[in-house]
Every structure is written in C-alpha cells, then in structure tokens.
Amino acid sequence: MATLEVVTPDASRLLAPNPGPMTLDGTNTWVLRAPSDDRAVVIDPGPIEDGHVDEVAKLGPIAAIVLTHGHFDHGECAPQLHEMTGAPVIARDPALCIAADPIPDSPGLSSLAGLEWLTVLTPGHSSDSVSFVLESDRALLTGDTVLGRGTAVIAHPDGNLGDYLDSLQRLRDLAGGDIEVVLPGHGPVLHQPIEVLDYYLAHRAERLDQVRAALAAGDTDEDEVVRRVYADVDESLWDYAKLSVRAQLDYLRDHDG
C-alpha cells in the first residue's frame, strides 16, 4: 500500500495503485489539512482499485471530497468514500455532487476545515475541469489540466482546445503571482510553474502548426494527421492522440476558416 507523502505544509499525496500510459505513476490523491484543524479535504479520491478507498478513509475525519473533474481515475470512489465518511462530494458537474452544491460559474475563495483555497474554472481537458490555489502553501492543484510529466490530452468531444488554451493562460497569469509549486493529478510535483505553463502554451502552439502543415501536405482525416504529427509517440497511444487531433481540427475550423 502507498504511504502518505507530505509535499507542502498543508498538502500530502496518497498515490493510487493505477499506473498506466495515461495515469503515469497513478492518480495523485491530495489530502489537505491545516495545522489548526484535524479534518482533511480530499482532492480526487481516485479509482476503486486495490483498497485505495479504504486507505483514503483511514485519513479521516474528512470534511469534504472535492473533484478536479469527473474522469473515473479521479473520482470513481467518491460515492463510496462519501458512504464511509459522510463527507459531501463537491464538483463542477452537478451529477457528481453528493450532499453539496456544484462549483458555481464564479467560484472564488472557499474556506473549510481551517483551509482557504481559490477555485479556478479550467475547462479544456474536460468541460468540468477545475483547479485550486492553496493559498497557505502557494500551491496550484491542477488535476489533468497540467501533468507532472508529459502533456494533457484534450478529451474530445467533451474537451475543447480553445477552452484549454484560455485555461492555461489563466493559470499562467496566476503563476506569475505567488504560486511556487504545482500539485498535478498525475506525475511528480513541479517547482517551476511559470516555466511549465509557458512550455504547455508553446507546445500547443507547435502542435497546431504541425496539424496545419499536415493538412497543407494533403492529410485529410485524423488518422493521417496522427501518423504524421505523432510519429514520435508510441503507436499504442495513438488512440488517445486522436482525441487531441479531433480537438485541434475543430479549433482550426473555428479559427482558421
């Protein structure tokens, strides 16, 4: 079983046992706890896999279960954890909430269990993606919007590249203030948030240029674009790459005419 790893004064990580090509080392379940309160806020309790939910429940008492988005590797066990602990489940998508209101259109600051955090809407990877700024630690929790290794997939059709680029810029603007560390949904912690977000923005611009070039070269569908643009990516990941290519093609149709 994974052990709880203290990462910042108020944030610890429990790694879920679901490693894979898209989940990297596994889902990072973030456990936030202020020194002044014995209750925890759990961000992304993860999948129902190999007793992970039991390990999370042992970290209680839990004041709230919060989801960065609704993909199963982040929130599959949230209903079970709610049954075990009584903690409400808070998410952007109302269908995922239990005993709580959904995250509103203008979320702002929240206070719970001695913690204060800023909720930021960051759609793009998925339509319901949100990120959180833990102000006490100058930490940014990004879910799948920014990963600790590699780059995120735009989960078309729910994901949208235009929204994603706006979200990255929003996080880049935040990082230019007091953000010192990124706590991602998968992969290692990142200690240079501005450089990371600049890279993400540059990478997306480069990919769009590559897709434009592929279309100009005569590629006519997503399979042809993937073969050309993602030739350096393991072929086992091409089905995931197709999701991003579909999002890129939609973006270019909307913006390039």
pLDDT in tens, 146-157: 999 999 999 999
Contact 102, 92 (CB under 8 A): yes
Residues 231-243 pLDDT 10s: 888 888 888 889 9
Q: What is the per-residue pLDDT for 176? A: 87
pLDDT in tens, 86-139: 999 999 999 999 999 999 999 999 999 999 999 999 999 999 999 999 999 999
Neighbours of 38 (CB within 10 A): 12
The predicted pLDDT at position 240 comes to 87
Distances (CA, A) of 75 to 46, 196, 206, 229: 5, 25, 32, 32
Residue 20 has pLDDT above 90, yes or no: yes
C-alpha distances (whole Å) from 168 to each of 8, 130, 173 are 23, 12, 9
Q: Give, in order, the Cα–Cα distances in Å from 57 to each of 39, 41, 62, 99.
A: 12, 11, 8, 18
Closest Cα to residue 75, out of 115, 48, 112? 48
pLDDT over 80 at 257, yes or no: no
Please identify which of the residues 10, 44, 73, 137 carries the catalytic annotation: 73
Task: Identify whether the C-beta of residue 231 lies closer than 8 Å to the C-beta of residue 207.
Answer: no
Q: Specify the pLDDT at position 172.
A: 96
What b-and-e string marks burial along 51-84, b requiring 16 or more CB atoms within 10 Å of the CB? ebbebbbebbebbbbbbbbbbebbbbbbbebbeb
Per-chain mean pLDDT for the chain: 95
CA-only gyration radius of the chain, Å: 18
Model confidence at 1: pLDDT above 80: no
- The whole-number pLDDT of residue 177 equals 78
Check pLDDT > 70 for residue 249.
Answer: yes
> Residue 246 has which token pair?
């579909």
The predicted model gives 219-226 an average pLDDT of: 91
Report the pLDDT averaged over residues 191-200.
96
Q: Has residue 80 got a pLDDT over 90?
A: yes
Is 250 a catalytic site residue?
no
d(CA 215, CA 248): 12
Average pLDDT over residues 178-200: 96
> What b/e readout covers 4-20, taking b as 16+ CB neighbours within 10 angstroms?
eeebbebbbbbbbbbee
pTM recorded for the entire structure: 0.95
With a cut of 90, say whether residue 179 has pLDDT above it: yes
